Amino acid sequence: MKKWFSENSAFVALLALVIIATLLKGEMFFNQRNLTNIFLNNSIIGIIALGMTLIIITGGIDLAVGSQLAASGLLSITVLNATGSIIASFIATTVFGIVSGGFTGVLISKCNIPPFIVTLGTMSIYRSVSQHFFTGGGVKVMGDSKDAFIAISNTKIGGQISMIIVYWIVLGIVMAILASKTTLGRHIYAVGSNEKATRLAGINVDLVKIKTYAISGVLVAFASIIEAARLGSMNSASSGSSYEMDAIAAVVIGGTSMSGGKGKIIGTILGTLTLGVINNMMNLLGVPTFLVSAIKGAIIIGAVLLQSTLNRDK
């Protein structure tokens, strides 16, 4: 029973919260519009959390994803406004994601700097440089391509399902296949399980880490384009703020071990939805805004404590 609970804790937690929220708020919670909004409002975090899952499985962490999203989004809109080309904007933002993520991976793997220190530094760099170039403000989508760019995120299938949700689901499937069915995916788990043994097996651990952070960088770039298209603007000071905390919380709630070597993409998706239901419940119950982050922090600690307890009892 403990083994089943350990393997399905994310699903059990989500189901329990949905039942509790339904009992407390009834149709105010359990209706199509509200449930769709939960998916929509957490899709950006969900996309970022997909890359964070791979990073944490390797035994790493990335605190810079929120600031990186802001920088990527500002770059995306700036290139779009300058060229009028959505393709040029997409390419520039994707390249930035690969380079920034890969650079983080190089610092961690080749320079042997702890991931926490590297990403704490890059978090400050991305935010500070963005605020410098945009004088603490932001940029809006303008020009002839504005409507087409905005449509990337604001188009709805059947007038109900936002394309943002579709992007999240598709990317989730791709990342699940990468993690479970590819050589790189197996190497990612191996590095997190036992890095020394993986090196002795002849696997290029440094390259695995660089690729993992680069993949995460691409996902953050995609998320930034979707966010920029949804809002029609990005702000150097506030865009992406605290996204790293939400992404890490979603991954941990989804059952990925902070010590590395264990985790599933489907768990992260369920963890993201669990976090979304919690946020929605706090909003419906009128929980003070300033307490939301405190509750999220307690949830992260509780999830890690539960993981530790279950692993110790095995």
pTM across the whole model:
0.94
Tokens linked to 98: 């690969």
**Low-confidence spans in the chain with pLDDT less than 50:** none
- Contacts within 8 Å (CB) and 24+ apart, 230-235: 230/44, 230/153, 230/154, 230/164, 232/140, 232/141, 232/146, 232/150, 233/77, 233/138, 233/139, 233/140, 233/141, 234/70, 234/73, 234/74, 234/76, 234/77, 234/138, 234/139, 235/70, 235/137, 235/138
pLDDT value of residue 302: 79
Backbone angles phi, psi at 29, to 5 degrees: -95, -55
pLDDT value of residue 160: 86
pLDDT value of residue 119: 98
- What's the pLDDT tens digit per position in 193-229? 999 999 999 999 999 999 999 999 999 999 999 999 9
Please tell me the distance from the alpha carbon of residue 162 to that of residue 178, in angstroms, as a whole number: 25
pLDDT value of residue 209: 98
pLDDT value of residue 309: 73
pLDDT value of residue 314: 56
pLDDT value of residue 2: 59
pLDDT value of residue 286: 87
Strands 161-162 and 156-157 come out as: antiparallel
3-state secondary structure of 234: strand
pLDDT value of residue 215: 98
pLDDT value of residue 216: 98
pLDDT value of residue 289: 81
Please tell me the distance from the alpha carbon of residue 287 to that of residue 77, in angstroms, as a whole number: 35
